[in-house]
A and B are shown apart, each in its own frame.
Chain A
């Protein structure tokens, strides 16, 4: 069966520090991968998605970036965090091009102080 792992689960970072959140999917190949952010009361905001290695589409311009160095690995990064980057970050995947069966990881809580 397929599983998705996301880490770290919780982190507190100072303003201006770098960020790296990592996500891996097991049990499937060539998945579509997604990074979402969920702010309190604001729903899910799609940040990046990837349909293959090295292929990244950005939905929201900001100081975050994403990379997909391997087929089942997706990384969310920032060189310098802002207070506004605080939130709940979710990695997700689907094997279906219609996006109708998208599965989420457990999420990473980021607090920028």
Chain B
């Protein structure tokens, strides 16, 4: 079992929809959780990171971590065609140099 699981999609939504992207993880030692956005043929871009459980909001993006259920979510409000990309979640434990990445979910926002 992979330590961070993510549905590859694709997830197709109409413009303006609320998007929910999710990951599950199995390692209880994970304390840091990240979301990356990757456009086609580009390097991943760090979108958000959170420490431990809770929510973090940045503009249209909200990251949520539920450590009790080992569930990571990214919500995108008022989705735009420019949000079309692959979204990767990642997790890391304290003192580890190496985050563990999910395989990414492909999101398509159509006009």
Contact = CB atoms under 8 A, between A and B. Distances in A.
A51 interface: yes
A27 interface: no
Candidate in A32, A97, A98 with the most chain B CB atoms within 10 angstroms: A98
B54 interface: no
B97 A100 contact: no
Contacts of A7: none
Contacts, number: 63
B41 A42 contact: no
Nearest to B45: A104
Interface stretch (A14-22, A69-77, A78-86, A105-113): A105-113
B43 A102 contact: no
A34 B100 CA distance: 13
Interface residues of B, number: 27
A100 B103 contact: no
A99 B41 contact: no
B104 A100 contact: no
A81 B45 CA distance: 29
Interface in B19-37: 31-32, 34, 36
5 contacts: A34-B98, A94-B97, A98-B95, A99-B99, A104-B44
Interface of A: 6, 32, 34, 41-44, 46, 49, 51, 88, 90, 92, 94, 97-107, 109
